[in-house]
Structure 1
Amino acid sequence: MKFFFAIRRYSTPAAAIRWFYATDIPVSKPKGFNYKQTERPKKFIPFARTDSDNLEAAFRAWKNGESPKEVAVNEDQLFDCNLEKMIMRPAYWEGPAYEIRRGLWFLDNMPLPAPIADQLEHKYRELGPFKELQSSDEPVTAEIASEVSLYEREGRKWPFEKATDFEKEDKIAVFKDHKTAFMISKDSTVGKLQIKNFYKLPAQQVLGADTVTRGYEKAEPKKTEEASEESTDEEKDLLTSWMKSWTGQASNERFQKDMEADYTSPNIIANSGDREVDHLILCIHGIGQTLSHRFASVNFAHDCNNMRKHFKQLFTHNPKYVKMAYSEEEIARHKNDGKLSNCKVQVLPIIWRFDVDFSLDKIFDEYEPDGHPRLPTLNQINIDAITPLRHLAADVVMDILLFYEPRFKQQILSSVVKYANAIYDKYLERHPQFDGKISLLGHSLGSAICLDILCSQPDSPEDLDPRKHLKFPVENFFGLGSPNGVFKLIQRHNIRARDSANHENVSSPKVGNYYNIFYPTDPVAYRVEPLVHSFLADVKPQTIAFEDDSLNSQIQSLAELPNNLINNEYLRRAINFAGLGDAAQNGEKQDKTPKHTEQKEIPDHVKKLLEGLNRTGRVDYSLPQGYFDIDLISAVGSHIQYFDDRDVIGFLLTQLWPPDTQ
Structure 2
Amino acid sequence: MNGVIEGVYEPVQHHWFHCEQQVDCKDSWFPFSREDSPRLEEAHKHGGTRGEEEMVVATEGRRFDVRLKERRRYAVYWEQPPSEVRRCSWFHKGDKDISYTPYPEHTSLALEEAYMISVTLNDWTRKLEFPTGETVVLHSPKLMTQQQTIPSKYWISFPSASEQSRPRTVKRGMEGISIEIPEGEPYQVDHLVFMVHGVGPACDIQLRGVVQCVNDFRDASLSLLSSHFKQGQDGAHMGRVEFLPVNWHRVLHGDATGVDEDIQRITLPSISRLRQFSNGTVLDLFYYNSPTYCQTIIDTVASEINRLHHVFLQRHPQFTGAVSLTGHSLGSLILFDLLTNQEIHNTDEKISSVSSPSEATSINFESFEKTLRNCGLGKFFQMLTKEQMDLESLALCSETDLKDLGMPLGPRKKIMCLLKRWREKQESRTGTSQPVPGVPGVYSQVQEQPMLLSDAPSTSPVDYKYFDIGIGQVSIVYPQLAFQPQAFFALGSPIGMFLSVRGLKRIDPKYSLPTCKSFYNIFHPFDPVAFRIEPMVVSPGVDLPPMLIPHHKGRKRMHLELKDSLMRVSSDLLLSVSTLRGVWQTLTTLPVNTLPPVASVGTTAALPPQESEGSRAQNGTVPPTEMKNISFGMLNGGRRFDYVLQEKPLESFNEYLFAIQSHLCYWDSEDTVLLLLREIYEGKGILL
Range of TM-score over shorter length: 0.5 to 0.7
The alignment covers a number of residue pairs equal to 478
In structure 1, the partner of 2:547 is 543
Aligned-residue offset at 1:639: 1.1
1:86 matches 2:71? yes
Q: TM-score, normalised by structure 1?
A: 0.58
**TM-aligned CA deviation for residue 481 of structure 1:** 0.9
Distance 2:185 2:270 in 1: 46
Change (3 A) 1:536 1:439: farther
Structure 2 residue 282 is the aligned partner of structure 1 residue 277? no
1:617 — aligned with what?
Answer: 639
Matched, 1:598 2:608: no
Name the stretch that deviates more: 178-187 or 453-462.
178-187
- Superimposed CA distance per residue, residues 395-440 of structure 1 (whole angstroms, 9 cap, x where no aligned partner): 7633212322333222222222233223323332333222111110
CA contact (8 A) 2:77 2:308 kept: yes
Is 1:18 aligned with 2:42?
Answer: no
Measure, in 2, the Cα distance between the counterparts of 1:647 and 1:348: 19
State yes or no: 1:451 paired with 2:336: yes
**Which residue is equivalent to 1:348?**
244
Contact 2:551 2:646 in 1 (8 A): no
Residues 52 and 461 of structure 1: is their aligned pair in 2 closer, same or farther, counting only changes over 3 Å? farther
Q: Deviations over 1:96-136 (max 9, x none)?
A: 75432112455567532134345667x879xx9589959xx
Deviation digits for residues 360-388 of structure 1 (CA, Å, limit 9, x no counterpart): xx847669xxxx94x4479979999xxxx
Structure 1: state its 5+ residue gaps.
1-11, 30-34, 147-163, 189-206, 223-263, 385-390, 502-506, 560-586
In structure 2, the CA distance between the partners of 1:414 and 1:643, relative to structure 1 (3 Å rule), is same
| Compared CA separation, residues 408 and 629, structure 1 to 2 (3 A) | farther
Match of 1:434 among 281, 296, 319: 319
Q: 1:652 to 1:185 in 2, by over 3 A?
A: closer
Give the partner amino acid of 1:277: V
In percent, how many aligned pairs have the same letter? 25
Q: Does residue 528 of the first structure (1) align with residue 533 of the second (2)?
A: yes
Residues 400 and 73 of structure 1: is their aligned pair in 2 closer, same or farther, counting only changes over 3 Å?
A: same
Moved more, 96-105 or 517-526: 96-105
Shift of 1:459: 1.6
Compared with structure 1, are the counterparts of its residues 176 and 453 closer, same or farther at alpha carbon in structure 2 (3 Å cutoff)? same
1:165 pairs with 2:133? yes
What is the TM-score when the length of structure 2 is the normalising length? 0.56
Matches within 5 A, 1:196-275: 216-221=173-178, 269-270=182-183, 272-275=184-187
Over residues 592-651 of structure 1, what are the superposed CA-to-partner deviations in whole Å (9 max), with x where a residue is unaligned?
Answer: 8999983397999x93xx543212433333334577562445422221112333432333
Shift of 1:92: 3.5
Does structure 1 conserve the Cα–Cα contact (< 8 Å) formed by 2:526 and 2:655? Answer: no
In structure 1, C-alpha distance between the alignment counterparts of 2:644 and 2:302, rounded to whole Å: 29
Distance 1:589 1:603 in 2: 28
Measured in 1, the distance between the counterparts of 2:124 and 2:193 equals 64
Instruction: Pick the aligned partner of 1:100 from 72, 85, 90.
Output: 85
Alpha-carbon distance change, 590 to 508 in structure 1, aligned in 2, over 3 angstroms: same
Between structure 1 and structure 2, the one with the greater Rg is: 2
- Residue 357 of structure 1 pairs with residue 379 of structure 2: no
How far off is 1:280 after superposition?
1.8
SS in 1 for 2:193: strand
Once the two structures are superposed, residues 183-230 of structure 1 have per-residue CA deviations (whole angstroms, 9 ceiling, x without a partner) of: 999999xxxxxxxxxxxxxxxxxx9999978x63522318xxxxxxxx
**Alignment-mate amino acid for residue 19 of structure 1:** H
Counterpart check, 1:473 vs 2:488: no
**Counterpart for residue 114 of structure 1:** 105
Instruction: Decide which of 519, 522, 530 is 1:517's aligned counterpart.
Output: 522
- Decide whether the 8 Å contact of 2:491 with 2:523 is kept in 1: yes
Once the two structures are superposed, what CA deviation does each residue of 1:284-322 show, in whole Å capped at 9, x if it has no partner? 110313x559x425543333333333334444544xx56
**Aligned-pair RMSD on alpha carbons?**
5.2
Looking at structure 1, the residues matched to 147 and 277 of structure 2 have their Cα atoms a distance apart, in angstroms, of 56
Q: Secondary structure at the match of 2:521?
A: strand
Q: 1:456 and 1:494 mapped to 2: Cα distance?
A: 20
SS at match of 1:613: coil
SS at match of 2:282: helix
Shift of 1:516: 1.6
Q: CA deviation at 1:473?
A: 1.5
User: Which shows bigger deviation, 175-184 or 646-655?
Assistant: 175-184
CA contact (8 A) 2:72 2:83 kept: yes
Q: Which residue of 2 aligns with 1:642?
A: 666
Structure 1 match to 2:685: 661
- Aligned to 2:634, the other structure's residue is in SS state helix
Judged with a 3 Å threshold, the aligned counterparts in structure 2 of structure 1 residues 60 and 316 are, in CA distance, closer, same or farther, namely: closer
Residue number in structure 2 paired with 1:67: 53
Alignment match, 2:675: 651
Query: Which residue does the alignment assign to 2:206?
Result: 296
Describe the shift of the 1:420–1:616 C-alpha distance in structure 2 as closer, same or farther (beyond 3 A).
same
| Aligned counterpart, 2:62 | 77
